[in-house]
Structure 1
Amino acid sequence: MRADDLPESLRVTTDEQLRAVSNLTRHRIMAVLRFEPSTITQIAERVGLAKGSSSYHVRLLERAGIVEVVRTRKVRGVTERYYAMAARSIELPDPGEGGPDFLMRHAVADLEAAPADGERHVGMAHLRLTDAQFAELSARLEALVGEYRRLSDPALPDASFVFALFHPKQGDPTERDAK
């Protein structure tokens, strides 16, 4: 792949891009393309889709500039296209107050679809942090993910890592006391 000239990130800025990445099937296709270029047939097999459905979703991602054709080859008179992500990572816009955070919804859907007997580590912690500690933890998590992303080998099984570091909504104390 063209790893040296691949942009570090692609910022989702248009409605077309947002619609493209907010679909669970396309999210799973992007996961396939994260590490190595793949054909429609390979994508369909990995995601468990019909080739026609896989082609449809890949075309939407391509039109939105999220994935791109990185090479082609002739196979029995047919041009086979290999698709890859257009950047190492995708930066999503802030969902805004009350807006759906589809990245977390996709992560939960992927977790629920994972084999029940497979290895998994899921946890949640409630912390009380200063602004400086919050920023430090965020930076350390990003650095850790970056370190392991560089170590990723396409020949190894997929593993997903999801985290959300946020300040939960603080309710009106008088409302809590009234309940």
Structure 2
Amino acid sequence: MPESDLPETFHVTTEEQLRAVSNLTRHRIMAVLRFEPATITQIAARVGLAKGSSSYHVRLLERAGLVKVVRTRKVRGVTERYYAMAARSIELPDPGPGQPDVLMRNAVADLEESPADSVRHVKMAHLRLTDAQFAELGARLNALADEYRALSDPSLPDVSLVFALFRPAQRRQEEQEEEGDAK
């Protein structure tokens, strides 16, 4: 199935889907399938898994509707299945209070495992913005990510872009005062 025929977004709505996408190994399998279909053997090689483990994780993703078989072919009497993402992007529900943000947790794990000698652009900035500035910055970041996703070429190496624009939880006044006294 050409990528142009894929739905734009898959909305994760069930517990089964959330469990499937929350696993780091399955997150990495979906990254392999982001741009082109692959077989279990190809997925296993790219993710660094045994074929049996790769097959197990792909079956869970398929059962949850996140990936699907897009073509098959016979190879020495065995049917080889090519899997692809069910949509161009996946939208996760916002985590509830006290729950981990699955997307950010997996992104940090991927960053930590990226080659130490590779070029990285990592920055954290603390800003003070009006509601309008906050909304504008969010829209600009999303537009920039969409612009570069449209330029993506499957023949080039993978690059991950992750950003989080949020208002941190307000800390209690006593905690802030204690920190001020400690300095």
Matches within 5 A, 1:68-107: 68-107=68-107
Deviations 1:72-126 (A, max 9, x none): 0111111100000000100000101111111111111101111111111111001
Letter in structure 1 aligned against 2:79: T
Letter in structure 2 aligned against 1:130: T
The aligned residue for residue 59 of structure 1 is: 59
Pairwise CA distance, 1:128: 0.7
**What is the rounded CA distance, in whole Å, between the counterparts of 2:4 and 2:25 in structure 1?**
28
Deviations 1:108-166 (A, max 9, x none): 11011111111111110011111111111111111111111111111100110110000
Q: Runs of 4+ in structure 1 displaced over 6 angstroms?
A: none
CA RMSD of aligned residues (A): 0.9
Uncovered stretches (5+) of structure 2, i.e. residues with no partner: none
TM-score normalised to structure 1 length? 0.97
**What is the rounded CA distance, in whole Å, between the counterparts of 1:132 and 1:95 in structure 2?**
24
The alignment-based identity, stated in percent, is 79
The aligned residue for residue 125 of structure 1 is: 125
Give 3-state SS (helix, strand or coil) of 2:80's partner: strand
Pairwise CA distance, 1:27: 0.3
Letter in structure 1 aligned against 2:161: F
TM-score normalised to structure 2 length? 0.95
Deviations 1:31-52 (A, max 9, x none): 0000000000000000000000
Pairwise CA distance, 1:3: 1.8
Uncovered stretches (5+) of structure 1, i.e. residues with no partner: none
